[in-house]
Amino acid sequence: MAGPGEFELIQEYFLSQFSGSDPAAGVELGIGDDCALLIPPPGKRLATSVDTLVADVHFPAKADPYRIASRALRVNLSDLAAMNAEPLWFTLALTLPESDASWLEGFARGLADTARKFGIVLVGGDTTKGPLSITIQVTGATAQPLLRSGAGEGDQVFVSHSLGAAAAALPLVLGDLEGSEGQKQLADAAYYFPEPQFELVGQLSAYASAALDISDGLLADLGHICTASQLGAELNLDKLPIAALAQTAGAERALQLATSGGDDYQLCFTVPEQHVNAVTALQLPITAIGRLTAELGVRCSYGGNRWQPQHAGYQHF
Ligand code: ADP
Ligand code: MG
């Protein structure tokens, strides 16, 4: 069955779901003209970020399109959260191998549901033919950005919730590993519905000195904070909160997944000593796992011994 042409496609799946103008959201003119016209909130800075998801690199090409859209938008939203920016607008560059009405219906519904949940508006994009690929650019606003470079020597290192679920989920999501119904549900949630940590970051921003979202693995991403802040880190992995799904893989493998597995989109952030009590008193789902040191490099201990990851994190090249 032939799907809609380019202009019908934009009209039916994107323009219809996201109205052309939305004054309350700062959208003077949305989808449909050469450019969108956007009005930034007064007194705030704009934060912008872009991520591309390529089929069979970042998600299985045959995955449910509703889930692909959810993941594509959520991983971008996670960057806004990690910067302490509230979501405003996004654009979508969509490359499709064919115009498939049922795929587009699922994708547009996933996109609209996710956008509504997080209060972000689609304001434009581009549609081309080629191997399936999704590029989303998000823009948010912040009065108090949290940079990677703000950490100081002696600051404590925290992570949010638990790590390793998304990496443990991957073989289940790809169908390479059989799991129980419960495991499959956990895997689906971890991989396709990562939670941008807006609520947490809002409560932490007054105390944290640096933050990022863990997309490539804890050790690799903490390494970015260390590099940007010209420091090193000493971690006690006995304290690391490891996700239930990762724990089923056995202790050593779970540790590998939680330190080096990507895609969790949890926060890693640092807190100066004088604010640690205030942060702890908030009783948030966060765990202190170590501290920053003048000595460069990220060093780990586990069970009282030095511990080395097998590989530090995901790199494309
Ligand atoms: P142009 O040729 O000026 O780039 P297009 O024909 O590519 O315009 O797009 C027409 C309008 O539809 C523009 O406002 C563009 O932002 C929007 N648009 C195109 N593709 C998408 C998409 N996948 N999602 C959202 N908006 C889109
Ligand atoms: Mg265009």
- Residue 139, beta-bridge partner list: 48, 89
225 Cβ neighbours under 8 A, 6+ residues apart: 148, 151, 210, 212, 231, 233, 268, 270
Q: Which CATH superfamily is domain 148-307 in?
A: PurM-like C-terminal domain (3.90.650.10)
Q: How far apart are CA 311 and CA 189, in angstroms?
A: 25
Mutation test residue for ligand 1: of 107, 127, 134, the one with most atoms within 8 Å of CB: 127
pLDDT grade, residue 8 (50/70/90)? confident
Q: What is the mean pLDDT of the chain?
A: 94
pLDDT over 70 at 275, yes or no: yes
Contact call for residues 238 and 303 (beta carbons, < 8 A) = yes
In the chain, CATH 3.90.650.10 covers 148-307
Per residue in 180-234, pLDDT tens?
A: 999 999 999 999 999 999 999 999 999 999 999 999 999 999 999 999 999 999 9
Share of the chain above pLDDT 70, in %: 97
Q: Which amino acid is at 165?
A: A
Around 15, how many Cα atoms within 13 Å sit in the side-chain half-sphere? 15
Residues with CB under 5 A from ligand 2 (ion): 126
In the chain, CATH 3.30.1330.10 covers 6-142
In CATH terms, 6-142 corresponds, of 3.30.1330.10, 2.40.70.10, 3.40.50.2300, 3.40.50.300, to: 3.30.1330.10
Residues with CB under 6 A from ligand 1: 10, 14, 31-34, 92, 94, 122, 124-127
Which of 313, 292, 52 minimizes the C-alpha distance to 148? 292
